[in-house]
Amino acid sequence: MTARPTPLCLSLLTVAAWALSLAVLSARAELFVAALPLVLVLAALALRPSIPDYALTHEVSTDWVFEGDTVTVTVAVAARSAVPLMEVIEPLPYGSELASGRNRAVMALRPGQTASFRYEVRWTGRGMHDLGAVVVRGRDRWGIRAWERRHVDRTSVRVYPRIAPLRSLPRPFHTQASVGDYTSPALGEGIEPGNIRQFTPGDRIRQVNWRASLRLGSLYVTQRHRERNADVVLMLDTLTEVGVAPETTLDLGVRAAASLATAYLARKDRVGLILYGGLMDWVRPGSGRTQYERLAGTLLRADVVFTYVAKDLAVVPPRVLSPHALVIAVTPLLDQRFTTAALDLAARGFDLIVLVVSPVDVTRGMLAGSETDDLACRLWALERRARLDGLRRHGLAVLEWNPAEPLEPALAGLERRRPRLAAAR
Amino acid sequence: MIRLPAAALAAVLFVVPVLTATVPAVAVLALIGLLLGAVGIATLWRWPVTSAACVFLTDYAAALWLADAPVSVAVAVGFGLSLLLLLESVELARCMRHATVDAGVARSLVTRWFGFGAATLVATFSAMALAFALAALVPYAAAPFVAATGALGAVLALAATVLRPRL
């Protein structure tokens, strides 16, 4: 590390040279005297520079947050030798903004003294962000010599997508073997009453329906439906996106998927995830807190990877995409390959819901709002409505979500009938 | 906050030449220097402040030449210190802009400035005493050449120190 003269040196040299020249020209001793402080300071450059000895520590309040939350960063400097003037800067990572405080500090320390500063960073977009690259710029007593050092104490902060609380969720048609919140058609132990049948040996007394038994003259028992959970697979379209980060259709889709995952996991369902795009990635269905972290970790990495290849869902293992799972496809429906994949799933009898993140509203938000833009958006919206109606005619349950509005009303608008019943009519 | 001392120093640099020679031309030149200084302090650009320092110096030289007053070492030391501190305070203001400033910085600055002021006064009076002693040895006709050579030598030596390559 080398100490270098600062631009202040050149200013001082210029003024000193001008003062000496004027002194010679005007033959006034005062100007020699006036130049003396400047000359004395510049003469200090001939001395050997001493680089201060110090220790820098960098701490982050938490290593994970949700979008829009803040992280407190504390930077402390402990001086082992005198530090005349030190500038400490921590550049903000991409996608972050200062919530409070400042990410630059200037300090002067005596030997053994410690100084610290803290600030809060807010991330507006999901992802893995690195903090901890601190640049220290030191100056000597007169600011005529400076040196710079970079400290890297890398700390990763995971920013998870923001979650919207959802109370009404689409109900799966099929249930699984574990206990959950859905009433299963299968009869057994449960709360929800089902059919009434005649008493058979082995039935418990508490199952006897006394009212029916008295009326019909023999013992009858009430059968009950089991409460079971379901498998839900979220399929996220990462083929393409529109909009500006952190409000692209993919970002909005990731938030919707995270909200759905949280709500279904809270209902004891098993939730899986498929990222359908240039790079296929998936998470096996599972339940519990650990599963949420697994899903959120995969959603963090979700990004558009351009490809010409049409991905086949056959590569997804059946244990990830089980035939009895409710599949919720979250997509802006901008790429025909995803539409084809969704139709393929529906044709194979999957219980499929397509949640369409409206790209028209996202694009409209980016534009200046001229008449031409408005007309183009309206035409595009008409064209998309026709496409969505076409998909509905194929038997797909399609929900269109305007990201400017909450997700819950869009989900509540879904009317679902079992395909078997629909076919019977 | 650091801009306040810079503004005060600019005001001192404006006042000294005006009080030395009460001539309109000196006042106008001082006003130009003050204007440049104000621009530099407001924008924290280096070039207006350096230019302002040069204008103030020129104005001071003109005032001294016009007034033809006896040598005042204390005022000259104050003027020189004001020039130095003006340049340094603007540089510090650049450094402290949008930054959290530790309380120790102000304390350290005040101590340093007062210490350096005192040291400069002592050095100046010592240098003046030495100069009076040496002046007797230099022939009157050769004095301007000696002064010019000394000034040029000092500037070149300083320039060599500032601009020498660092490994």
> Do the Cβ atoms of A20 and B167 come within 8 Å?
no
Q: To the nearest whole angstrom, how far is the Cα of B149 from the nearest Cα of chain A?
A: 9
Across chain B, mean pLDDT equals 88
Report the residue of A2, A11, A142 to disrupt the B interface, i.e. the one with the largest count of B CBs within 10 Å: A11
For residue A15, the chain B residue with the least C-alpha distance is B54
Q: To the nearest whole angstrom, how far is the Cα of B90 from the nearest Cα of chain A?
A: 10
Residue partners of A275: CB distance under 8 A and separation at least 6 = A236, A238, A281, A282, A298, A302
> Do the Cβ atoms of A87 and B95 come within 8 Å?
yes
Distance CA A102, CA A108 (A): 17
The size of the A-B interface in CB pairs under 8 A is: 186
Q: What is the pLDDT of residue A143?
A: 84
ipTM value of the model?
0.90
Which chain B residues are Cβ-neighbours of A85 within 8 angstroms?
92, 95, 105, 108
Which chain B residues are Cβ-neighbours of A84 within 8 angstroms?
108
> Do the Cβ atoms of B61 and A41 come within 8 Å?
no
Percent of residues, chain B, with pLDDT higher than 70: 98
> Do the Cβ atoms of A22 and B57 come within 8 Å?
yes
Residue among A378, A358, A377 at smallest CA distance from A367: A377
Q: To the nearest whole angstrom, how far is the Cα of A240 from the nearest Cα of chain B?
A: 39
Residue A11 in contact with partner chain B when CB distance is under 8 A: yes
Closest CB from A13, A105, A141 relative to B159: A13
What are B89-100's pLDDT values in tens digits? Answer: 999 999 888 898
Task: State the fold for domain A231-424.
Answer: Rossmann fold (3.40.50)
What are A272-287's pLDDT values in tens digits? Answer: 999 999 889 999 999 9
Q: To the nearest whole angstrom, how far is the Cα of A45 from the nearest Cα of chain B?
A: 7
- Each residue's pLDDT expressed in tens, for chain A with a length of 425 residues: 677 888 998 899 999 999 999 988 888 888 989 999 998 888 888 787 778 889 999 999 999 999 999 999 999 999 999 888 999 999 988 888 999 999 999 999 999 999 999 999 999 889 888 888 899 998 888 888 888 999 988 888 999 999 999 988 888 888 777 777 777 777 777 778 888 899 999 888 888 999 999 999 999 999 888 777 889 999 999 999 998 888 899 999 999 999 999 999 998 899 999 999 988 999 999 999 999 999 999 999 899 988 888 888 888 898 899 888 999 999 999 999 999 999 999 998 899 999 999 999 889 888 887 899 999 999 999 999 999 999 998 888 999 999 889 999 888 877 766 654 333 33
The domain locations on chain B are 3-99, 142-167
What pTM does this model have? 0.75
Q: What is the pLDDT of residue A369?
A: 79
Residue A45 in contact with partner chain B when CB distance is under 8 A: yes
> Do the Cβ atoms of B98 and A101 come within 8 Å?
no
Over residues B57-86, the mean pLDDT reads 91
What are B114-142's pLDDT values in tens digits? Answer: 999 999 999 888 988 888 888 778 887 78
Q: What is the pLDDT of residue A313?
A: 85
> Do the Cβ atoms of B87 and A11 come within 8 Å?
yes
CATH superfamily, with its number, for domain A54-160: Immunoglobulins (2.60.40.10)
Q: What number of other Cβ atoms are within 10 A of residue A84's Cβ?
A: 18
For residue B13, the chain A residue with the least C-alpha distance is A34
